[in-house]
């Protein structure tokens, strides 16, 4: 008899909003360094962490990997793809979730830590009661608290919605749809680590209140993780930084005066040239004593330290700007002749070319994820080629950074996009980052507004964006907030706080930090300073193009919507789409025209040729019209009807539409008695008739020529 295997499980329950969050260890993934199964109602995620026992040689960064894995089975569904049923590459939503988990955890490790740490979060069950990202972040932190990694957590995470001006903790899907703000963030007990926000013009004070509300609500979740660490007898591995301290000391003594002089050089190219020479000197002098990666790392730290000193203690930014000063701007619209809208937005050495394309409703993106199938009519894509930073590197397709930055610019404009009823186009924006020296995602946001306006898209209000930086002392009692963050300040600074919005409020926020979080004072001051910077940038944009153009580009398709009887949709489409395809072919083909049909009978005809568009609309109206008794119609005779038994001619078939016929009985052709239909009518002849009766149940339409003026007819069709 096989002995039953018993698990040594520990279960922790903690209030989290109106419900409880359950954290369980000891049952699943026992060979990982730390595991947690987190449950919130019927949503369940597994977080497994593995910490490598030895440092990874030859690296100059902390090798943390975070992977968020969606599973279709979690929602009780199978992928909608006909050919591939297993999960493939991560969806954009999964990539964004991975980033949201990585960003608050990474700063809580020592910068000198070089052991591989991998966190894999798998969604096992999903009921829509909570954003899985939230409990995935908590689960990841809880799993790390079981390991010997020098993680300075724990952290909590939360989503704050706002329905009818009231905050809602961890809103459901229904509540999220009603929310005018979705504020997702992670924090330690005292400080905020990461913020992601999408909002409908919410003011800074309300955002700040939402952060305080959510931070208070997550305290119990943070506290329970200390108990998990205690129960697992966590012992953090010691880090030997003696060798690092040695190379840092030697680099400092050798290069401090040269670096001090170099970082005060206002010209970027001259400054970088000097620093490159000094780094080469250090590498040459210490070759054989330390590894190249250690020397470069120490030299970079010295440069970082001196930049921070200049900003914090002397109030000097690398390019000489004041703390709230925006870099010089150059703004152009309509820079490309054939795309439907375009803009070139340049801020200092950061430059974004944003290009807009308008298309028919049928070009919407179909999305198939664990959370369900959906469509997307407004898209923003962000490209970051290596030449934008003067580098040479392989181009391996879209990375996490591109997805994250593209999503930020997309959600910044999303509340301002006109609804589909008033503007039924599919909208795609692409931002090509041509040059990057900080704040490229906000350049893409500004460029998107300009391209939309250039294209004549009637956006509700223009949106601008700005990236804010920070330099603090050890305990954050002294700090400087920097408007319009540039690359060197990002490298040496403590945060990247991006804010986008209109004159009336915030539409998007994305905040990352390199330190152990931001205080409330820093957040409040940053939001206020960002508001001023956004207004200055927006004013400059509106000087170039004050409002959306009145007319669309001549190269953009024109869309006209008509209504048909929903019962006639099948007839319009035809078997296998035969009828609708024929209309498209008759009106110029797929390159000229497209037709989209909705369940309510709305038919949208998109065409780049107005004449062909009108022709298609005419055909659709004619082929789907409801024929009424008494109507006068002119058209061709398409057949002579004979009795099946006797072969005697009994009537003529009249074409009402290409897909609808009616019959003129022999008795209804003339007031005089006639023996044969063909004595009066021939195939191809054009005649005028009146609708005598409509039998909808049998699909029959009776026509008469009696008493009808035939001057509308034109005789032989040929």
31-75 residue pLDDT tens: 999 999 999 999 999 999 999 999 888 787 899 999 999 998 998
Within this chain, do residues 606 and 700 fall inside the same structural domain, yes or no?
Answer: no
Tell which of 314, 338, 361 closes a domain: 314
Confidence of residue 375 (pLDDT cuts 50, 70, 90): confident
CB neighbours of 402 closer than 8 A, spacing ≥ 6? 381, 382, 383, 384
Tell which of 544, 566, 593 closes a domain: 544
pLDDT value of residue 357: 96
CB neighbours of 702 closer than 8 A, spacing ≥ 6? 662, 663, 665, 668, 691, 692, 693, 694, 695
Residue 2 resides in a domain? no
Within this chain, do residues 226 and 250 fall inside the same structural domain, yes or no?
Answer: no
pLDDT value of residue 715: 53
Confidence of residue 204 (pLDDT cuts 50, 70, 90): very high
Closest by CA to 540, choosing from 287, 332, 718, 236, is: 332
CATH code at 491? 3.30.230.70
Q: How many domains does the chain have?
A: 5
- 374 or 702, greater pLDDT: 702
Within this chain, do residues 423 and 274 fall inside the same structural domain, yes or no?
Answer: no
Confidence of residue 571 (pLDDT cuts 50, 70, 90): confident
Residue 551 resides in a domain? no
Contact 196, 510 (CB under 8 A): yes
Residues 431-487: tens digit of each pLDDT? 999 999 989 999 999 999 999 999 999 999 999 999 999 999 988 899 999 999 998
Residue 93 resides in a domain? yes
Within this chain, do residues 490 and 562 fall inside the same structural domain, yes or no?
Answer: no
pLDDT value of residue 718: 42
Residue 372 resides in a domain? yes
Residue 603 resides in a domain? yes
What mean pLDDT do residues 332-349 have? 96
Scored b (16 or more CB within 10 A) or e, 608-623 reads bbeebbebbbebbeeb
CATH code at 580? 3.30.1370.10
Contact 555, 338 (CB under 8 A): yes
Residue 236 resides in a domain? no
Residue 507 C-beta-side C-alpha neighbours within 13 Å: 28
- The one-character DSSP state at 290 is B
Residue 575 resides in a domain? yes
CATH code at 642? 2.40.50.140
Closest by CA to 523, choosing from 543, 495, 551, is: 495
Within this chain, do residues 295 and 386 fall inside the same structural domain, yes or no?
Answer: no
Confidence of residue 243 (pLDDT cuts 50, 70, 90): low
Within this chain, do residues 393 and 463 fall inside the same structural domain, yes or no?
Answer: yes
Contact 315, 323 (CB under 8 A): yes
Residues 310-327: tens digit of each pLDDT? 999 999 998 889 999 999
pLDDT value of residue 81: 76
Residue-range definition of the domain harbouring residue 249: 242-314
Within this chain, do residues 670 and 618 fall inside the same structural domain, yes or no?
Answer: no
Tell which of 624, 646, 670 closes a domain: 624
Within this chain, do residues 614 and 644 fall inside the same structural domain, yes or no?
Answer: no
* 245-259, 333-347, 648-662, 666-680 — most confident range: 333-347
Closest by CA to 455, choosing from 544, 372, 355, is: 355
What mean pLDDT do residues 149-170 have? 95
Residue 529 C-beta-side C-alpha neighbours within 13 Å: 23
Within this chain, do residues 471 and 569 fall inside the same structural domain, yes or no?
Answer: no
Within this chain, do residues 26 and 133 fall inside the same structural domain, yes or no?
Answer: yes
| H or E element that contains 562 | strand 558-563
- 462 or 569, greater pLDDT: 462
Residues 481-503: tens digit of each pLDDT? 999 999 889 989 999 999 999 99
Structure tokens at 637: 């005779």
Neighbours of 176 (CB within 10 A): 16
Residue 56 resides in a domain? yes
pLDDT value of residue 125: 95
pLDDT value of residue 713: 60
Closest by CA to 425, choosing from 355, 377, 375, 366, is: 377
Within this chain, do residues 443 and 460 fall inside the same structural domain, yes or no?
Answer: yes
Residues 61-119: tens digit of each pLDDT? 899 999 999 998 998 888 877 778 888 888 899 999 999 999 999 999 998 899 999 99
Residues 172-185: tens digit of each pLDDT? 888 999 999 999 99
Within this chain, do residues 605 and 566 fall inside the same structural domain, yes or no?
Answer: yes
């Amino acid at each position: 008899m096989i002995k039953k295997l018993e698990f040594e499980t520990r279960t922790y329950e903690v209030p989290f909003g109106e419900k409880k969050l359950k954290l369980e260890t000891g049952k699943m993934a026992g060979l990982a360094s730390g595991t947690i199964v987190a449950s919130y109602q019927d949503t369940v995620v597994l977080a497994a962490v593995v910490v490598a026992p030895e440092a990874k040689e030859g690296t100059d960064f902390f090798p943390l990997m975070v992977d968020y894995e969606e599973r279709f089975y979690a929602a009780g569904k199978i992928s909608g793809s006909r050919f591939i049923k297993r999960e493939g590459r991560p969806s954009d939503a999964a990539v964004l979730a991975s980033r949201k988990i990585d960003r608050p955890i990474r700063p809580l490790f020592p910068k000198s830590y070089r052991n591989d740490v991998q966190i894999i979060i798998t969604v096992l069950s999903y009921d829509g009661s909570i954003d899985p990202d939230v409990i995935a972040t908590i689960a990841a932190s809880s799993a790390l608290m079981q390991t010997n990694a020098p993680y300075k957590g724990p952290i909590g995470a939360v989503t704050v919605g706002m329905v009818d001006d009231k905050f809602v903790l961890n809103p459901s899907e229904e509540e999220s749809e009603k929310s005018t703000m979705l504020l997702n963030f992670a924090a330690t007990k005292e400080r905020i680590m990461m913020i992601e926000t999408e909002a409908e013009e919410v003011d800074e004070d309300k955002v700040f209140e939402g952060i305080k509300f959510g931070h208070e609500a997550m305290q119990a979740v943070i506290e329970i993780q200390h108990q998990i660490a205690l129960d697992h007898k966590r012992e953090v591995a010691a880090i030997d930084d003696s060798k690092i301290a040695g190379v840092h000391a030697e680099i400092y003594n050798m290069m401090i005066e040269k670096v001090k002089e170099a970082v005060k050089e206002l010209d970027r190219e001259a400054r970088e040239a000097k620093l490159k020479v000094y780094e080469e000197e250090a590498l040459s002098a210490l070759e054989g004593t330390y590894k190249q990666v250690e020397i470069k790392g120490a030299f970079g730290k010295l440069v970082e330290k001196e930049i921070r000193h200049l900003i914090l203690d002397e109030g000097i930014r690398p390019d000489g700007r004041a703390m709230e000063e925006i870099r010089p701007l150059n703004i152009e619209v309509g820079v490309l002749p054939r795309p439907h809208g375009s803009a070139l937005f340049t801020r200092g050495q950061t430059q974004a070319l944003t290009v807009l394309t308008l298309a028919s409703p049928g070009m919407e993106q179909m999305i198939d994820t664990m959370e369900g199938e959906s469509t997307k009519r407004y898209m923003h894509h962000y490209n970051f080629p290596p030449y934008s930073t003067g580098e040479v590197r392989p181009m391996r397709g879209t990375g996490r950074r591109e997805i994250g930055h593209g999503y930020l610019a997309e959600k910044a404009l999303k509340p301002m996009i006109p609804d589909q009823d008033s503007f039924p186009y599919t909208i795609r924006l692409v931002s090509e980052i041509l040059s990057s020296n900080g704040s490229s995602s906000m350049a893409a946001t500004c460029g998107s507004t300009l391209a939309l306006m250039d294209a004549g898209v009637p956006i509700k209000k223009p949106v601008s964006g700005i990236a804010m930086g920070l330099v603090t002392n050890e305990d954050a009692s002294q700090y400087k907030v920097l408007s319009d963050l540039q690359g060197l300040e990002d490298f040496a600074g403590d945060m990247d706080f991006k804010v986008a919005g209109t004159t009336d409020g915030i539409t998007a926020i994305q905040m990352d930090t390199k330190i152990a979080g931001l205080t409330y004072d820093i957040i409040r001051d940053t939001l206020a300073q960002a508001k001023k910077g956004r207004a200055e940038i927006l004013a400059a944009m509106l000087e170039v193009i004050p409002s959306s153009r009145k007319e669309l580009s001549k190269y953009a398709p024109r869309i006209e919507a008509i209504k048909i009887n929903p019962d006639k949709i099948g007839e319009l489409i035809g078997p296998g789409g035969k009828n609708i395809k024929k209309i498209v072919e008759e009106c110029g083909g797929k390159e000229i025209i497209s037709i989209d049909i909705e369940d309510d009978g709305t038919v949208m005809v998109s065409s780049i040729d107005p004449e062909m568009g009108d022709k298609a609309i005419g055909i659709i109206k004619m082929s789907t019209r409801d024929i009424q008794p008494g109507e006068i119609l002119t058209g061709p005779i398409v057949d002579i009807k004979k009795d099946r038994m006797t072969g005697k001619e009994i009537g003529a078939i009249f074409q009402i539409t290409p897909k609808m016929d009616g019959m003129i009985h022999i008795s209804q052709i003339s007031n005089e008695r006639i023996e044969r239909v063909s004595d009066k009518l021939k195939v191809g002849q054009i005649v005028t008739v009146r609708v005598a009766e409509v039998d909808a149940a049998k699909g029959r339409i009776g026509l008469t020529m009696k008493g009808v003026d035939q001057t509308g007819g034109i005789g032989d069709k040929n």
